[in-house]
């Protein structure tokens, strides 16, 4: 463990040297957010704000980072993986560990995205080339802040204004961003949601930028000035009941209400998907069912979410028949995976606090026989997340971070899907989302 602490301290030191941002003790949350973005851009692994702060000793914790986190840090520095980094930094036997490494032992975490918003089946990275997940999430309007100079040109203003306004209550939905305080900056960018590829360069001397959102969700738009995140604004794209959307590039396919409402369930058949996407097989082809809105009275620290569903594709139409069930919050999301029993290695589970990846964890309990409907339930109580499949508990983990305010659910099917029941409850309040 002492060697591991030493290697982690060296890794932090190398990253700090490469950034030239000054003492890490002076870093703000926005600095850690920006570093997380840079790691994501280079490694395609999302490390949350809480994970970044644990790694740098700003939050004490009991565990050491998992292999996904360590490999991401090493790859960011130019090494092939964590082992490669360690082999290039031999540790003297007498080496004493000092500094932040003694004070912290970071928690295991992912990527995925406060906002990993969440990589799904290799799609647009909740969540999307049809998956704008969950996106996800971590939305809070941050106060106006002043940043110390980190090398290069300093921000031209210590006060920024950044807001967003929807133009309709339907989909698609144009959002008008208004920004003030950027005049004279060398570079100004708006990142439209958790997906770091959705960045648009804007005129520093301008005041407004408009963008179209094709998927519902709760997103965090960011104003980036001279490479620094300076303001955030929530973008809330709600639905009126359930909305079924097939992921397609460059534009998705919307299904009509009459297309999805069947006797006893809502769903999209394999034939409907093939026709909508003009394809012969459904591998990696996604349809999402979204119900995004407010749920007054639901306490994200003490709630139960239940659904009865199945992947309706045949193995000939879609080999693995994956499902992702997302409980969407303003601060994060819980993502629960299901798949054909033979494909559990492709799954990844996100608890809102840490990733559990099928390639290095046994997720066989999430393997399903989709010839019958599956009953999936997740419950958060006393800061513990419990997941049940067909009345059998299959997973438990601490729920430390919290989801914020619950604002919806997203259910993704690889191929065709059917949903019989969805309910969200907390105490005496219950919302039956399918009647």
**Rounded Cα gap, residues 353 and 346, in angstroms:** 20
- Picking from 228, 218, 169, 224, the residue whose alpha carbon sits closest to that of residue 201 is 224
**Rounded Cα gap, residues 249 and 297, in angstroms:** 38
Q: Cα 361–367–371 angle (5° rounding)?
A: 175
Beta pairing class for 367-368 and 333-340: parallel
Domain ranges of the chain: 2-103, 243-427
CB 277 within 8 A of CB 246: yes
Token pair, residue 372, equals: 């019958």
| SS3 of 291-321 | EECCCCCCCCCCEEEEEEEEECCCCCCCCCC
DSSP string of 187-205? Answer: -EEEE-SS-TT-EEE--TT
- Burial of 360 per CB tally in 10 Å (0-12, 13-18, 19+): exposed
**Rounded Cα gap, residues 424 and 217, in angstroms:** 17
pLDDT at 270: 97
One pLDDT digit (tens) per residue for the chain, 435 residues: 577 888 898 999 999 988 888 888 888 888 888 898 889 888 878 888 888 888 998 877 667 888 888 988 988 898 888 888 888 887 765 444 333 333 333 333 333 333 333 333 333 333 333 333 333 222 222 222 222 333 333 344 458 999 999 999 999 999 999 999 999 999 999 998 876 667 899 999 999 999 999 999 999 999 999 888 899 999 999 999 999 999 998 899 999 999 999 989 999 999 999 999 999 999 999 999 999 999 999 999 999 999 999 999 999 999 999 999 999 999 889 999 999 999 999 999 988 666 788 888 899 999 999 999 999 999 999 989 999 999 999 999 888 778 999 999 999 999 999 999 999 999 999 999 986
Helix (H, G, I), strand (E, B) or coil at 226: coil
Beta pairing class for 243-246 and 228-237: unpaired
**Rounded Cα gap, residues 355 and 334, in angstroms:** 10
Token pair, residue 343, equals: 């494909």
pLDDT at 240: 93
CB 357 within 8 A of CB 68: yes
CB 286 within 8 A of CB 322: no
Conformation bin of residue 227: beta by default, left when phi > 0, alpha when psi is -120 to 50? left
**Rounded Cα gap, residues 126 and 151, in angstroms:** 35
pLDDT at 256: 96
pLDDT at 48: 85
Q: Is the peptide bond before 172 cis (omega within 30 degrees of 0)?
A: yes
pLDDT at 371: 95
- Picking from 62, 46, 61, the residue whose alpha carbon sits closest to that of residue 118 is 46
User: Which residues on neighbouring strands pair with residue 258, listed in sequence order?
Assistant: none
pLDDT at 93: 55
pLDDT at 129: 35
CB within 8 A of 147, min separation 6: which ones? 28, 30, 154, 155, 158, 228, 230
**Host H or E run for residue 102:** helix 100-103
Evaluate whether the domain defined by 243-427 bears CATH number 2.70.70.10. no
CB 138 within 8 A of CB 222: no
The reply to whether the predicted model has a pTM over 0.85 is no
Q: Cα 212–31–51 angle (5° rounding)?
A: 90
Cα distances from 137 to residues 2, 127, 155, 336, in angstroms, run 35, 11, 26, 16
Residues in the chain: 435
């Amino acid at each position: 463990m002492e060697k591991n602490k030493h290697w982690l301290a060296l890794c932090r030191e190398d990253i700090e040297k490469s950034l030239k941002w000054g003492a890490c003790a002076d870093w703000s949350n926005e600095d850690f957010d920006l570093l997380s973005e840079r790691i994501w851009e280079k490694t395609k692994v999302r490390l949350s704000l809480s994970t970044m702060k644990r790694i740098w000793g700003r939050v004490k914790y009991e565990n050491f980072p998992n292999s996904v986190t360590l490999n991401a840090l090493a790859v960011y520095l130019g090494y092939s993986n964590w082992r490669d980094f360690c082999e290039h930094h031999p540790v003297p036997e007498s080496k004493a560990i000092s500094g932040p490494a003694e004070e912290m032992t970071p928690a295991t975490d992912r990527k995925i995205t406060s906002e990993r918003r969440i990589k799904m089946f290799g799609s647009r990275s909740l969540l999307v080339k049809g998956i704008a997940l969950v996106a996800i999430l971590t939305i809070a309007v941050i106060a106006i802040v002043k940043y110390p100079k980190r090398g290069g040109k300093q921000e031209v203003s210590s006060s920024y204004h950044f807001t967003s306004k929807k133009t309709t209550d339907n989909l698609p939905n144009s959002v008008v961003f208004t920004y003030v305080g950027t005049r004279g900056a060398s570079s100004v960018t708006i990142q439209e949601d958790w997906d770091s590829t959705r960045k648009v360069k804007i005129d520093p001397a301008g005041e407004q930028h408009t963008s179209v959102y094709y998927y519902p969700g709760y997103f965090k738009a960011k104003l980036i000035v001279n490479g620094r995140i300076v303001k955030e604004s929530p973008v809330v794209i709600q639905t009126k009941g359930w909305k079924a959307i097939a992921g397609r590039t460059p534009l998705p396919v919307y299904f009509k209400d009459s297309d999805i409402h069947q006797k006893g369930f809502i769903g999209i058949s394999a034939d409907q998907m093939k026709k909508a996407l003009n394809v012969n097989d459904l591998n990696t082809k996604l349809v999402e069912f979204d119900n995004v809105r407010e749920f007054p009275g639901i306490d994200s620290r003490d709630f139960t979410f239940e659904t009865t569903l199945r992947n309706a594709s045949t193995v000939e139409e879609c080999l693995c028949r994956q499902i992702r069930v997302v409980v969407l919050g303003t601060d994060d999301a819980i993502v629960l995976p299901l798949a054909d029993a033979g494909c559990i290695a492709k799954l990844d589970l996100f608890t809102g606090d840490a990733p559990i990846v099928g390639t290095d964890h046994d997720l066989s309990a999430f393997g399903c026989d989709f010839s019958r409907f599956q009953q999936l339930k997740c419950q958060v109580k006393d800061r513990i997340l419990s997941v049940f499949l067909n009345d059998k508990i299959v997973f438990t983990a601490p729920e430390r971070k919290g989801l914020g305010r619950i604002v919806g659910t997203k259910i993704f099917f690889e191929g065709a899907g059917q949903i019989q029941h969805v309910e969200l409850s907390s105490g005496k309040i219950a919302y039956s989302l399918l009647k």
